[in-house]
Structure 1
Amino acid sequence: MLLQFQCLRKHLIFDKVYILQCFEKEVFIVENKAKPKYYFELSLKSFIVFHVEQDYFGFSIPYRGKLKLFHANSQKVREFKMLLSGKVLFGDLNQFYLQKHQIGQGAFSYVFMLQNLETKEMVAAKYLSKNWKNKANAERMKEIIKENNIVQSLNHPNIAKIKEVYDKNQDIVILYEFIDGDNLEKYLHDHSTSLSHFDVQSIMRQLILALFYIHQQQLIHRDIKPSNIMIQSNHNIKLIDFGLAAKIGTINNDICGTIGYIAPEVLCITTAQSIYSFKCDMFAVGAIFYKLITSHTLLNDIKDYSNFQLKLDLLKKLNTPESGIDLLQKLLDFNYKTRLSAKEALSHQYFTESLRVSAKKSLQLSQRNIFLANTSQVSQIGTSETQIQNVNIFNQNLNKRFRFSIQSNN
């Protein structure tokens, strides 16, 4: 038993005292030691409203078409709400959160920043319509419950966690931990430059570690793309949006995801039928790897798949380590059988070597070129000792952390 406390149901003539017992998968509300009169399971099929005035004073649950109100000790009600967070549907979102502004929008949802009225904590609220693509409420709810259950089952530092789930009119609102940063798509667009090779290596390692963990749980994300990766100022990442995730072996041969990151075997480029495996996510990782290095999208439309050719000259021009180019080629292998798994990718040489030195060299080379171009002496690079001395001073002042920016010019 996780929690037990006394609660009260007020009546006109006399009040009734009950004992609430909260277990791992269900809640019973019993009168004395009699058979439980009230019961609900811990799932998003269940609904509960917590009541707040000056403090938590009670909760209501549906019973025979009506909401039944129970009063209880404030601290116990708080503990109860904490235990149920993310496991059942809560009601009356506006009692607890203030809506701030929209921070994102997807094909099937939109995201707002909310602030907890009591703690002032920020959360990311994902609004999912109960009615979508002419699906009945029950069918749509199954999809929402599935996404919630998948995320609730995962516990990894690079995967965003669910805090609470609310029923609000025509939407189900899933509250995620707030990540102070942008999605990777916006980050790259706003900066319009490549990250340092060391930062790219760090981001890639985090992403593949998250996928290695997900694949261990026999899950495929199926929508790995930059807009589903949140990046913080310290370049730590969080993977979000598990709306298309599914257990291996339970997937229909439908095509889902985003063009440019969908694996070729899913698009039936070389086969007569879509093939889903863990390797689908790894092709998307390869496409993200390319964009991290070059700031360009690898495949813009379905026609690009047929004419695919990795631009090695561009990668070398951007001083990409040989190990990085090798890893990229193996992640973008059109044959899913020989494409690297997450486990194989993590043991690749690219992740065992330090790129701090190569990042420093890339910084000096790129900034040297920029400096000499600005002084109209590009044709004489490296010929003047004074120029080199000036470049060294320029490098030191511009970026002591050996982080460089290269303007993408495909």
Structure 2
Amino acid sequence: MQMLELIICYRKHLIADQIYEIRLTDNTLTLTNPKRPDTPKYIFPLNWSSEISWQLTSKENAFGFYTQPKKFKWFHAKQSDLLILKKILSKFVSFTKVQDFYEATEHLASGSSSQVYQVVRKSDKNNNFVTKCITKETIQNSVEKMNGLFDELNILKQLNHPNLPRFEEFYVGDGTYYIVLEYCQGQSLNSYLKELRHQLNVRIIQSILWELLQGIAYLHSLNIMHRDIKPENIILNIQEKKIDLKIVDFGLSVKLEPNKELKKCGTPGFVAPEIINLKNGKYGLESDIFSVGCVFYKLLLRKDLFQGETQNEILSANRRCQLNIYNLQLIHIPLTAQNLLSEMLQEDPRLRIKAVLALQHPFFRENFRISTRNINLNLSHFRSSFHTQTSNTKQQHSDDEILVDYFNNELPPINQIPVFLKYHKNGQKITQNQDNQNSQSTDSKFLYRNISKSTG
């Protein structure tokens, strides 16, 4: 916790005001009479269930809380001191009356139980904030959902990275919870890809994937798993060839702890197979990497890795996890990109590349001056043969024979990219739809969220 210089406050009385010293520990705020420093008069627990009210106006500067279930008390101090106190407490407790501090300016997104608005801070007219508004009645009668909200807050308050949103404050209203976050300028990666009429240049893909992995590596260093990495939860702001990227929506995020049982969650088409086929309540940070691999695939082809006409069909394909990325070599995707993708999409999470190692992958150092025609990609043997293939490819071409068509031009129009929906199962060739009919689906038991636009 940030150190707090001694702040003096007072409580108004008819005869004489009572002076108190404000002190903070890791889990309490105490108000102590200076004459009795070892005996706090008021002890206020620091947790998200504790609520503090503020009066910060030209006429009144005070904060207050319930000292008993039916006794609310105000404590007055200098406004500058209270602003410091409010900033520190924002990471630990709830505040009341969000309307005293913020004003909504634009509706940004909707979810099943929440709305997201851009807001302006009244004190300085700064509009660099959003508020995620969660309807109380949808979660407050469920211990599990309330704990999920507090878990999200505990994760958000830890974040301090350019590829992640900055947490500001948490407010409790009569019927709504308000999470105030940094406003992430730009549009979702999903919207960005929909608006494009051609494939992305590989150098842009490099930049997007690099920023995404930077944020994931930071989360994993804190033992935090996002659990819902998908294009809708990636916000891009591209200006003058500079890409700013933010990973948003931490509603399903969790901090891994020993013996903590995890549940199935995520979005069909981007979920790691060990989550879909979960049996023992255990999976790890590697599941985020599989989701990043699904995003990487979509960046390369602008098509989803797992396809279907319904959510259940997509989830069924996702569950089988029978990958066919042969089409990557047909459109001259660089060998290094193919290798990194295969490292991310390993079905066995123990074989999956970690985020910090992915950032060191040759794909991010590739200058794309090497021809990638006619490259044979086999997921089971690709890892061991990668360096040999790269070396041989370099030796096959002199400088004047180098093919540069991939990075000098965009990929073919989207309708010219082949899609393979057939594969072999038990020695027989079947279609994806036939396999969907044959599989025993438990999709109705799988928890997923599919929000068209997601922020914070």
Query: So what's the TM-score if we normalise by structure 1?
Result: 0.81
Distance in 1, matches of 2:26 and 2:282, equals 37
Give the counterpart of 1:309 among 304, 318, 323. 323
Partner amino acid, structure 1, of 2:170: V
Q: Please tell me whether the aligned partners of residues 198 and 410 of structure 2 are also in contact (alpha carbons under 8 angstroms).
A: no
Q: Secondary structure at the match of 2:131?
A: strand
The offset of 1:11, in angstroms, is 2.4
Q: Structure 1: which 5+ runs fail to align?
A: 359-400
Question: Is 2:26 the partner of 1:29?
Answer: no
Partner amino acid, structure 1, of 2:222: Q
Distance in 2, matches of 1:284 and 1:250, equals 24
Task: Report the CA distance shift for 1:120/1:137 in structure 2 as closer, same or farther (over 3 A).
Answer: farther
Q: Please tell me whether the aligned partners of residues 56 and 77 of structure 1 are also in contact (alpha carbons under 8 angstroms).
A: no
The offset of 1:67, in angstroms, is 2.2
Distance in 1, matches of 2:337 and 2:121, equals 43
Q: Which residue of 1 aligns with 2:381?
A: none
Q: Please tell me whether the aligned partners of residues 182 and 232 of structure 1 are also in contact (alpha carbons under 8 angstroms).
A: yes
Q: Please tell me whether the aligned partners of residues 267 and 274 of structure 1 are also in contact (alpha carbons under 8 angstroms).
A: no
Q: Please tell me whether the aligned partners of residues 236 and 246 of structure 2 are also in contact (alpha carbons under 8 angstroms).
A: yes
Q: Which residue of 2 aligns with 1:245?
A: 253
| 1:321-336 to 2 correspondences below 5 Å | 321-336=334-349
Distance in 2, matches of 1:157 and 1:307, equals 33
Q: Secondary structure at the match of 1:237?
A: strand
Q: Which residue of 2 aligns with 1:74?
A: 79
Distance in 2, matches of 1:237 and 1:158, equals 6
| 1:264-343 to 2 correspondences below 5 Å | 264-268=273-277, 275-300=282-307, 301-305=314-318, 306=320, 308-313=322-327, 315-316=328-329, 318-343=331-356
Task: Report the CA distance shift for 1:24/1:33 in structure 2 as closer, same or farther (over 3 A).
Answer: farther
Question: Is 2:194 the partner of 1:189?
Answer: yes
The offset of 1:172, in angstroms, is 1.7
Q: Which residue of 1 aligns with 2:424?
A: none
Partner amino acid, structure 1, of 2:41: K
The offset of 1:164, in angstroms, is 0.9
The offset of 1:151, in angstroms, is 2.0
Q: Secondary structure at the match of 2:138?
A: coil
Distance in 2, matches of 1:293 and 1:175, equals 34
| 1:4-83 to 2 correspondences below 5 Å | 4-34=6-36, 35-54=39-58, 57-64=61-68, 65-83=70-88
Q: Which residue of 2 aligns with 1:124?
A: 130
Distance in 1, matches of 2:59 and 2:183, equals 25
Distance in 2, matches of 1:251 and 1:242, equals 18
Task: Report the CA distance shift for 1:308/1:172 in structure 2 as closer, same or farther (over 3 A).
Answer: same
Distance in 1, matches of 2:146 and 2:408, equals 49
Q: Which residue of 2 aligns with 1:106?
A: 111
Which whole-Å deviations, capped at 9, do the CAs of 1:136-160 have from their partners, x for residues lacking one?
2655332211111122223222111
Q: Secondary structure at the match of 1:44?
A: coil
Q: Please tell me whether the aligned partners of residues 9 and 70 of structure 1 are also in contact (alpha carbons under 8 angstroms).
A: yes
Partner amino acid, structure 2, of 1:10: K
Moved more, 339-348 or 222-231: 339-348
Distance in 1, matches of 2:282 and 2:29, equals 42
The offset of 1:324, in angstroms, is 0.5
Give the counterpart of 1:346 among 359, 367, 375. 359
Partner amino acid, structure 2, of 1:44: W
**Equivalenced residues, count:** 364
Q: Secondary structure at the match of 1:125?
A: strand
The offset of 1:227, in angstroms, is 1.4
The offset of 1:48, in angstroms, is 0.7
Q: Which residue of 1 aligns with 2:267?
A: 258
Partner amino acid, structure 2, of 1:294: L
Partner amino acid, structure 2, of 1:90: F
Q: Please tell me whether the aligned partners of residues 205 and 346 of structure 1 are also in contact (alpha carbons under 8 angstroms).
A: yes
Give the counterpart of 1:115 among 70, 95, 120. 120
Q: Structure 2: which 5+ runs fail to align?
A: 308-313, 371-406, 418-456
Task: Report the CA distance shift for 1:307/1:27 in structure 2 as closer, same or farther (over 3 A).
Answer: closer
Question: Is 2:244 the partner of 1:236?
Answer: yes
The offset of 1:71, in angstroms, is 1.6
Question: Is 2:208 the partner of 1:203?
Answer: yes
Distance in 1, matches of 2:179 and 2:409, equals 37
Query: So what's the TM-score if we normalise by structure 2?
Result: 0.73
Task: Report the CA distance shift for 1:402/1:72 in structure 2 as closer, same or farther (over 3 A).
Answer: farther
Task: Report the CA distance shift for 1:3/1:336 in structure 2 as closer, same or farther (over 3 A).
Answer: same
The offset of 1:96, in angstroms, is 0.7
Q: Secondary structure at the match of 1:214?
A: helix
Partner amino acid, structure 2, of 1:241: D
Task: Report the CA distance shift for 1:319/1:153 in structure 2 as closer, same or farther (over 3 A).
Answer: same
Q: Which residue of 2 aligns with 1:371?
A: none
Partner amino acid, structure 2, of 1:80: L
Question: Is 2:221 the partner of 1:216?
Answer: yes
Task: Report the CA distance shift for 1:109/1:8 in structure 2 as closer, same or farther (over 3 A).
Answer: same
Q: Please tell me whether the aligned partners of residues 230 and 237 of structure 1 are also in contact (alpha carbons under 8 angstroms).
A: yes
Q: Secondary structure at the match of 1:261?
A: coil
Percent of aligned pairs with the same amino acid: 29
Distance in 1, matches of 2:59 and 2:366, equals 55
The offset of 1:91, in angstroms, is 0.8
